[in-house]
Amino acid sequence: MAFFYLLPMILLAIFVASFISAIIRTIQTEYANCSIPPGVSNPGKLRLIVAVLIVTSTLGRIFEKMELCSSLAFKRRVFSGWRPGPARGVRREDARLGRVPARLYRPRAAVRAPRPAVLLFHGGGWICCSLDSHERICQYIAKESGSLVVSVGYRLAPEHKYPAAYEDCLNATQHFLQHLEHYGVDPARVIVCGDSAGGNLAAAVSQTLAGRSDFPKLRAQILIYPGLQALDFNLPSYQQNRGVPLLFRERAAFCALQYIQGNTSNLEEVLEGSHIPPDLRLKYRKWVSPDNIPEKFKVRGYKPHKPCEFKPEVYETVKRFCEPNLCPLLAEDTIIQQLPESFILTCEYDVLRDDGLLYKKRLEDNGVRVTWYHLEDGFHGIVNLFEYCGLSFPSGKRGLDKAVAFIKSL
Ligand X SMILES: *[C@@H]1O[C@H](CO)[C@@H](O)[C@H](O)[C@H]1NC(C)=O
Nearer CB in complex with ligand X: 175/398:
175
Sheet holding 185-195, edge to edge: 90-97, 100-107, 148-152, 115-121, 185-195, 220-224, 341-349, 370-379
Strand-pair category, 100-107 with 148-152: antiparallel
CB of 363 to ligand X, least distance (A): 26
> Minimum distance between the CB of residue 65 and ligand X, rounded to whole angstroms?
20
| Torsion, CA 127, CA 129, CA 131, CA 132, rounded to 10 | 150
Q: Which of residues 163 and 243 has its CB atom nearest to ligand X in the complex?
A: 163
Residues labelled as active-site residues: 196, 350, 380
Nearer to ligand X, 262 or 277 (CB): 262
Judging by beta carbons within 10 Å of its beta carbon (0-12, 13-18, 19+), is residue 310 exposed, middle or buried?
A: middle
Cβ contact 228:359 at 8 Å = yes
Residue 320 CB, nearest approach to ligand X (Å): 10
Report how far residue 149's alpha carbon sits from residue 116's, in angstroms, rounded to the nearest whole number.
Answer: 9
What's the closest the beta carbon of residue 278 comes to ligand X, in angstroms? 23
Whose Cβ is closer to ligand X: residue 176's or residue 388's? 176
User: Roughly how many angstroms between the first and final C-alpha of the chain, as a whole number?
Assistant: 80
Q: Give the whole-angstrom CA distance, residue 220 versus residue 370.
A: 10
Residues forming contacts to ligand X in the complex (CB under 6 A) are 98-99, 171, 174-175, 261-263, 265, 317
The least CB distance from residue 328 to ligand X, in Å, is 20
Compare residues 153 and 399 and give the one whose CB is closer to ligand X: 153
Residue among 98 and 307 whose Cβ is closer to ligand X: 98
Strand pairing partners for 370? Answer: 342
**CA neighbours within 13 Å on the CB side: how many for 23?**
18
Nearest Cα residue to 195 out of 156, 238, 228, 160: 228
Residues sharing a CB contact under 8 Å with residue 135, sequence separation 6 or more, in sequence order: 83, 84, 103, 151
Contacts of 291 (CB under 8 A, 6+ apart): 285
Q: Nearest distance from residue 259's CB to ligand X, in Å?
A: 11
Which residues are CB-contacts of 95 (< 8 A; sequence separation ≥ 6)? 101, 102, 103, 104
